[in-house]
Structure formats: C-alpha cells, structure tokens
Homo-oligomer: A and B are copies of this chain.
C-alpha cells in the first residue's frame, strides 16, 4: 500500500455516506462542510487516546475504534445532544498492519451505525511512538438547549446512569492488578469488567431526557467523586453523595465483597462514561419514572456545606484520590 491517499480510500472513505457531496465529499477535499441551514446549535468535543495509556496496544482494533468514538459520544449525550459528524486523526506506528486497519475501520463503521454519526475528515500521519487517536465530534442539539455543568441548585437531586466503577475495575482486571489484590471473579463477571473498560456504551436514549429534565449534567470520565466535585464547583454549590446508593454491577459488588478497600477505586476511578445529572426536586420522581437505568444517589446543597461522599452511617468517607487524572504531572 502506498501512502495516505490509498489508506483513506481503502479504510476511511467507506465511512462517509455521500461520496460526492457535503459534509465530507468522500474525504477527498481539504475541508468538510456543515451547511448553514441546520436550525439547531452544534456541540463540539474532542478526545485523544494513546496506546498503553487509554487502551492496550494489543487490544482488538475493532474495540479500540469503538472506544474512540464512544468517549466522544458520551460528552455529546451528557450535554443533551446527539452525535452527528466526526473527524478522526491517527498517528500510526510503522508496524501497524493493514489487517489492523481493516478491523479498526470495521469497528468505526459499527460504532457509527450504533451512534448514528459519520466520518467527515481528519488526518493520518506516521509516528515512531505509540498509536495516537484523536477524534473531534460534532453533535446536534436544539438551539439553546445545551445542558451545562453550571445549572445545579441546592435541593436538586443527583442521579447517575448505569453502574459506576466497572471501567476502572476493568482496567485493574486487564492489567492483572485485580488478581493481585486477592479477588477471583467468575469468568462472566471478569469479562463484564474487561468489556466495560474497553467498550463504554453511552446511551443515546438518555440525551432527550437530559435536555428535558437536567439542571446540570456531565459525563463521568475521571471518576464519580472528582467529576461531581467539578460539577458542584461549576454550579457554585455543595453536594452530598451517599456511597451506599451508588449503583454497582454484580461484578463490582463481588469485587467489593472480596476486597472492601476497592470502594475507593470505584468511587474515584476513571473510565465510567456514564452520566451525572442534577434534577430539580419537584421533577425528580417524573424523571426517575421516564428514564430507564438511572439511580438517585445524592443531593445538591449550599456551597458552604462542601462536597461530600457519605458512608452508610452518614459519616464522610475519606477518599484517597479525589479525581483520576489521565494526564498526571508536568514538570514545573
């Protein structure tokens, strides 16, 4: 195979719906185009994934592709929007095979269908370092309806979607760390955690409920407690989460039964890709009935009361780390 043009033609052009027209012109022009007559606002988000930081270099390329799109979809859904278009840039190590790219492209195609979005541009370059994937995603939302982080108000109820902690436990399982803590899970539960780490599944159906009900919302990517702290800070409020109410999968509950110390990881670890929402108290019951798969876990309070995670006795939990940070430290 010889270079970028063939690469695009073979693996990426098939991901565009209109080969000769906007938005992507078959990836053969210099830019994509969003026509002016959209009617709604456009949400913009970008996530970068690096091999052996955000996934393992030997993870199946089909799943890596899924994750690269899903983490961006997660941001769009949490704002009350729906995914529409994305640009994909890849820094590819020289030893990557065309089989790898074939499977990666198939994974993108399946994820596009699942999330109803489409590739419109990007770049492919070579690197002597690890594979780097950068996705910029555009989402649709009715004009003026974006749900920000900053709308929570004392008295609002706090909800999360899905279950919490599976992603970070999946990473521990994948790296062998979980076994070292003495936890031995049934195969099915082990697989569940691995899958939740590698294939986050943001729920498009939640999007319209978020824009109809949520006063504030964000996706949980850097740990429940850290992200809740960020939402409270943006809203200038305090907040309380009751740890016992935080929804766990059977697998996470098993882990906790064997190794209670891992509660800290569950509440502060990254890679959940669930949604954290606040709902006005008088609408919370209605929201809970309409939304499937959401759980009420806490309450927004006045700022002076601070942000707390309470144990089952109502005592503040001391958490080792307040937020997982993909970044780590920079020399200062």
What is the total number of residues of chain A having a CB less than 8 Å from a CB of chain B?
A: 86
Partner of A29, one of B98, B234, B328, B331: B234
Known interface pairs A29-B148, A46-B87; A330-B35 also in contact (CB < 8 Å): no
Name the residue among A32, A33, A88, A149 with the largest chain B CB count within 10 angstroms: A33
8 Å CB interface, A138-187 against B: 138-139, 143, 146, 148-150
Please state if A326 and B122 are interface contacts (CB–CB under 8 Å).
no
- Asked whether any CB of chain B lies closer than 8 Å to the CB of A312, the reply is no
Copies of this chain, count = 2
With both chains docked as a complex, state the minimum distance between the C-beta of A206 and any C-beta of chain B, in angstroms.
14
- Asked whether any CB of chain B lies closer than 8 Å to the CB of A248, the reply is no
- Asked whether any CB of chain B lies closer than 8 Å to the CB of A281, the reply is no
With both chains docked as a complex, state the minimum distance between the C-beta of A316 and any C-beta of chain B, in angstroms.
22
The interface residues of chain B lying within 8 Å CB-to-CB of A132 are 48, 50, 91, 127, 129, 132, 134
Nearest residue (CB) in B for A95 is B331
- Asked whether any CB of chain B lies closer than 8 Å to the CB of A263, the reply is no
Please state if A30 and B45 are interface contacts (CB–CB under 8 Å).
yes
Please state if B122 and A30 are interface contacts (CB–CB under 8 Å).
no
With both chains docked as a complex, state the minimum distance between the C-beta of A73 and any C-beta of chain B, in angstroms.
11
- Asked whether any CB of chain B lies closer than 8 Å to the CB of A314, the reply is no
Please state if A121 and B89 are interface contacts (CB–CB under 8 Å).
no
Partner of A36, one of B7, B41, B48, B129: B41
The interface residues of chain B lying within 8 Å CB-to-CB of A325 are 2-5
Please state if B121 and A45 are interface contacts (CB–CB under 8 Å).
yes
Name the residue among A2, A85, A132 with the largest chain B CB count within 10 angstroms: A132
- Asked whether any CB of chain B lies closer than 8 Å to the CB of A332, the reply is yes
With both chains docked as a complex, state the minimum distance between the C-beta of A47 and any C-beta of chain B, in angstroms.
5
- Asked whether any CB of chain B lies closer than 8 Å to the CB of A284, the reply is no
Please state if B330 and A25 are interface contacts (CB–CB under 8 Å).
no
Known interface pairs A91-B48, A132-B127, A331-B98; A31-B43 also in contact (CB < 8 Å): yes
Residues of A whose CB lies within 8 Å of any CB of B are 1-5, 7, 23, 25, 28-50, 52-54, 75-76, 78-79, 81, 85, 87-92, 94-98, 101, 120-130, 132, 134, 136, 138-139, 143, 146, 148-150, 218-219, 230, 234, 323, 325-332
Q: Which 5 A-B pairs have the closest CB atoms?
A: A129-B129, A134-B134, A3-B325, A136-B136, A4-B327
